[in-house]
Amino acid sequence: MNSPQNTLRERKKAQARAHVLETAHALFHRKSFDATTVESICREASISKRTFFRYFSDKESLVFGQREERLATFVEFLAEHERVENPFDALRTATRVFGARYNSKKKRLLAQQRVVLSSPALLARERAIDGDWERAIAQAFSSRSGHSPEDDLWARVLAGAIMGVVRSTVTYWFERKCEDDLTRLGLDALDYLERGFPQRAHARE
Amino acid sequence: MNSPQNTLRERKKAQARAHVLETAHALFHRKSFDATTVESICREASISKRTFFRYFSDKESLVFGQREERLATFVEFLAEHERVENPFDALRTATRVFGARYNSKKKRLLAQQRVVLSSPALLARERAIDGDWERAIAQAFSSRSGHSPEDDLWARVLAGAIMGVVRSTVTYWFERKCEDDLTRLGLDALDYLERGFPQRAHARE
DNA sequence: GTGGCAAGTGCCACCGAGTGGCACACAGAT
DNA sequence: ATCTGTGTGCCACTCGGTGGCACTTGCCAC
């Protein structure tokens, strides 16, 4: 339909965008996100500030640029699968697919996460993005059964729990340098949700 | 130890702070959070901008001022109870206490939520604050048993799930004008976590 | 090719949030 | 009455982000 890469205009645009992104991340690496001003990025990339904000809506979207597309991919995937599988099976399938995908991108993801961790604003934004995912999940599950308030509540609470375990799992994975198997961690977390959280021994005396 | 309200200085200060808060919320009500500039608040409250930022670290903390204290209260409560109860029982007790507290403050909470909903920045910040709660919960549960990585992961995933269901539950409660019994909703959500999420009938054909 | 059109860019002035610094005011102790 | 330290006002400044306008440059019709 669109996303044409053929005309010279489009190619130049994409190239310029990529160039800005590259220099920006180089600067974030050298200094930190907060300590890097938009102006310095523009200087380095030989672009005007005004133009920068035509490419990127935010300074923050230098970091989270691809997330919207990722969400779209995920929503599509989920809508596809929840048609034939029950919610948890659909999520398990998603975990396998996306877990494998992330497992193979460890280096890039770790570098990105280093940037995110360096700025409170980015951490906040990350959580806000989780909210979008949560809403998407809730809607997928809510539309599968009737639309009574109870079903709606059930879907939203489940969606909240899912994003909660996903975020904490991924954070754990990052902290351990992505050495664990993300798919395994994710599937375990989903089992907790489906079958209930097991009690730990009460080790205090 | 501290929090002295006796000297004239302190009284004046507290009064000034309260006055700013009052006028600010009045303005947020008239216009919206984003459409209200700090300067206009200062003008209305007869205070200088510089002084404003000595009272409030942020424009946003005009809205979220009490949350830090709430978190402290909650953490204290949780630390107290997880010493003698298992995690879920402690959470159930907390749900009863805090649910009752919130149920009795519906009006104030709804007004505040109206403000929060009017600004994406506030919604993001709200989620960031949830992150603080999540960390606090995870730490309380993690310190109860050994500190093996597995226990740690378990505690953090549970904490993520808890905040996920709490947030979605409270959001639902707000959307329905706080007409439901918050304690009941909260306890149901906790049951989901402890015993697993029930399957809904597959209503599609 | 040439000329016109529209997309893309640069520049400048501007806004709003937040900070640093300094001079002044004022409550409280002596 | 005076000294002292806290709190306040004011000013200038930084940084992210926007509006507006002039200008360049790729694209397309002729």
Nearest neighbour of A200 by CB, restricted to B120, B151, B194: B151
A177 close contact with B: CB closer than 8 A: no
Q: So what's the pLDDT on residue A2?
A: 40
Which residue lies nearest D9, CA-to-C1' measured? B48
With a pLDDT cut of 70, the percent of chain B lying above it is 92
B121 close contact with A: CB closer than 8 A: no
Q: What is the average pLDDT value for chain B, to the nearest integer?
A: 90
Q: Which two tokens stand for residue A48?
A: 């005007």
For strand C, is any atom closer than 7 Å to the CB of A7? no
Tell me how crowded residue B137 is: count the other CB atoms within 10 A of its CB. 26
A181 close contact with B: CB closer than 8 A: no
Contact B158, B150 (CB under 8 A): no
Cα–Cα distance measured from residue B65 to residue B24, given in angstroms and rounded to the nearest whole number: 13
A25-44 pLDDT tens trace? 999 999 999 999 999 999 99
B4-29 pLDDT tens trace? 566 777 788 889 999 999 999 999 99
Q: Kindly list the residues from chain B whose CB atom is less than 8 angstroms away from the CB atom of residue A124.
A: 124-125, 127-128
Q: So what's the pLDDT on residue B6?
A: 67
Mean pLDDT of B84-94: 92
- pLDDT above 60 for B203: no
Cα–Cα distance measured from residue B173 to residue B25, given in angstroms and rounded to the nearest whole number: 22
Contact A194, A123 (CB under 8 A): no
What is the 8-class DSSP label of residue A2?
-
For an interface test with A, the pick among B119, B127, B152, B184 (most A C-beta atoms closer than 10 Å) comes out as B127
Contact B57, B65 (CB under 8 A): no
D18 C1' to A50 CA distance, Å:
9
Band of residue B150 on the pLDDT scale cut at 50, 70, 90:
confident
Cα–Cα distance measured from residue B47 to residue B162, given in angstroms and rounded to the nearest whole number: 42
Q: So what's the pLDDT on residue A25?
A: 96
- Measure CA of the first residue to CA of the last residue in chain A; give whole Å: 66
Mean pLDDT of A195-203: 75
How many Cα atoms occupy the beta-carbon half-sphere of A127 within 13 Å? 26
Q: Shortest CA distance to B57 belongs to which of B38, B81, B84?
A: B38
Nearest neighbour of B168 by CB, restricted to A87, A156, A176: A156
Q: Kindly list the residues from chain B whose CB atom is less than 8 angstroms away from the CB atom of residue A119.
A: none
Give all domains of chain B, ordered by start, each with its CATH number: 8-60 (1.10.10.60), 66-195 (1.10.357.10)
B128 close contact with A: CB closer than 8 A: yes
The three-class DSSP label of residue A4 is coil
A143-178 pLDDT tens trace? 766 677 777 899 999 999 999 999 999 999 999 999
- pLDDT above 80 for A140: yes
- pLDDT above 70 for B145: no
A69-123 pLDDT tens trace? 889 899 899 888 988 888 899 999 999 999 999 999 999 999 999 999 999 999 9
The 3-state secondary structure of B1-40 reads CCCCCCCHHHHHHHHHHHHHHHHHHHHHHHCCCCCCCHHH
The helix-helix angle for B67-81 and B120-142 (nearest 10°) equals 20
Which position has the token pair 């029982």? B89
Which residue lies nearest C12, CA-to-C1' measured? A50
User: What are the strands, taking DSSP E only, across B11-142?
Assistant: none
- Indicate if the alpha-carbon torsion angle A27, A30, A35, A40 is positive or negative: negative
Contact B126, B139 (CB under 8 A): no
Strand C bases near protein CB (under 7 Å) are 7-13, 15-21, 27-28
Q: How far is A57 from chain B (nearest CA, A)?
A: 15
Contact A88, A78 (CB under 8 A): no
The three-class DSSP label of residue A203 is coil
Contact B172, A134 (CB under 8 A): no
